[in-house]
Structure 1
């Protein structure tokens, strides 16, 4: 059904505003040298130093033969998790623009425009998610060094997963920003969310796939296993591993489902709070 004359201008205004807000977020991110340096230095630090440094400890020796905990080197195992890390930091930190716009009055001016609250929020979330995906692509440039083969179908599949993860995490950042009134408070609180979320997502150590659920809780502390299984980021990292190195600890469809549901729920919460504010 084609839109009527009354509807067409409204739709064009919303789409034009959406594009403008998206472009503003992207341009602002690229002008932020600190964020760009962090997006480049973070994967180099994790892949080159942590990945290489811990690689010898990621294997055992059975009957004189060296074998890995999983059939990959630690550098390969951690590579998809570093992609998720770069997206996680960039997505959540990009939401600081909500505090910035609120502090300097830009948000108030946009809210009295013909744009709906949903359009305003979607433009900011899509802008932050786009920047986060680009930062995730910076990690993919190191794929050859990490001995991770990259084909176009694999790249496109990974890109789709990255986009879903970035949208959900940027929405989470907006939810945090809606409750924080200062830049300093946002930085402290976001790091208090980012680091536990990442380290309890089976990102830097695997849950041994050869063990049953009961055995896993004997090898690892039960509280840690419970947190890992309840952490939504666990399944996002697992989905990226499945796409990049063909290794999954869980059902591959679970990661896509959880990222999709998390994105919708977090955006709905952010929109509800955005409208109230």
Structure 2
């Protein structure tokens, strides 16, 4: 009995030690990427201008043309989708930092560290998703201006929805970066995929009003579930699918892309 306890105790301690090392590596990589983003105020400014553009054009400009969608104003209806557009576009584009690290040899230096290879992409996911989640919190503060009643419960639930979406699409962006080696090709691929994904998600128009063939395409778009879930949380209903279906779909997508990322880590 004493011998068995002696054998198990060091193995548990070793497992805990490896976990601490892996978490520390993820934290260091995330801190490095966050510092790099903060030191580029021009990028943050351009993202803020993009947010303002979407709010002015869709939430304000089209509100006079389209009176309401169901029982809510058009500006309130599209507001959850506008935040989702920002979350998804920045999340997918965050994978390009992985490609640049590989291009300049930084990835090779990081991979020689005595930590699991998956720590590198997970650190980048933590940094990218954290930054985008903070941006979504800032955007949610403008909810009363577009007619969205934001209670504390809805605010917390909405932040959770956008944080989940940020993680999912940051992992998708990193998966693309591991599959496409050339930075220029990756940038072109992201731009090519971005617009169909953003605008065929129900973010700016109701999927229920789309033709049947277009509705099927929208159901194949992973962003559709993120937009639908956020809209139900912020508006208190009116979703395309039940909220638990959206949440389950997002969880299944996250599991799938994490498996791909684990298989492709370090490439």
Q: TM-score, normalised by structure 2?
A: 0.89
CA shift for structure 1 position 260: 1.2
1:149-228 mapped onto 2 (5 Å cutoff): 149-208=149-208, 220-228=210-218
Give the 3-state SS of the residue equivalent to 1:117 in structure 2. coil
The structure-2 alpha-carbon separation of the partners of 1:234 and 1:8, relative to structure 1 and needing over 3 Å to count, comes to: closer
Q: Distance in 1 between matches of 2:23 and 2:59?
A: 43
1:263 and 2:251 are equivalent in the alignment: no
Alpha-carbon distance, 1:153 to partner: 1.5
Deviates more, 1:236-245 or 1:112-121: 112-121
CA separation in 2, counterparts of 1:44 and 1:87? 14
Separation in structure 2 between the aligned mates of residue 50 and residue 7 of structure 1, nearest angstrom = 51
How far 1:6 sits from its partner (Å)?
Answer: 3.0
For residues 34-93 of structure 1, give each alpha carbon's deviation from its aligned partner in whole angstroms, at most 9, with x where no partner exists: 43123211221111222222113323xxxxxxxx33111111011000110110111111
Which of 19, 34, 47 is 1:11 aligned to? 19
**Equivalent position SS for 2:240:** coil
> 1 CA distance for matches of 2:40 and 2:255?
28
Secondary structure of the structure 2 residue equivalent to 1:250? coil
Cα drift, residue 18 of structure 1:
1.3
Cα distance in 1 between the residues matched to 2:182 and 2:23 = 31
Q: SS state of the match for residue 272, structure 1? A: helix
Distance in 1 of aligned mates of 2:151 and 2:126: 26
- Where 2:123 maps in the other structure, the secondary structure is helix
Q: CA deviation digits over 1:217-259, x for unaligned, max 9?
A: xxx4332121112222112101101111113221111111111
Moved over 4 A (4+): none
What is the CA–CA distance in structure 2 between the aligned matches of 1:225 and 1:12, rounded to whole Å?
A: 46
Aligned residue in 1 for 2:227? 237
Q: What is the alpha-carbon root mean square deviation over aligned residues?
A: 1.9
Consecutive unaligned residues in structure 2, runs of 5 or more: 1-7
Give the length in aligned residue pairs: 258
Question: Are 1:47 and 1:78, in contact at CA under 8 Å, matched by a contact in 2?
Answer: no
The answer to whether residue 76 in structure 2 is matched with residue 76 in structure 1 is yes
In structure 1, the residue matched to 2:43 is 35
> What is the alpha-carbon distance in structure 2 between the residues aligned to residue 106 and residue 12 of structure 1?
23
- Which runs of structure 2 are paired with 1:135-154 in the superposition (5 Å)? 135-154=135-154
How many Å separate the matches in 1 of 2:121 and 2:207?
37
Q: Which runs of 5+ in 1 are unaligned?
A: 60-67, 209-215
In the aligned structure 1, how far is the partner of 2:118 from the partner of 2:180? 20
Is the Cα contact below 8 Å between 1:55 and 1:75 reproduced in 2? Answer: yes
Corresponding residue number in structure 1 for 2:3: none
Matching residue of 2:32: 24
- TM, length-normalised to structure 1: 0.86
Which protein has the bigger helix share?
2
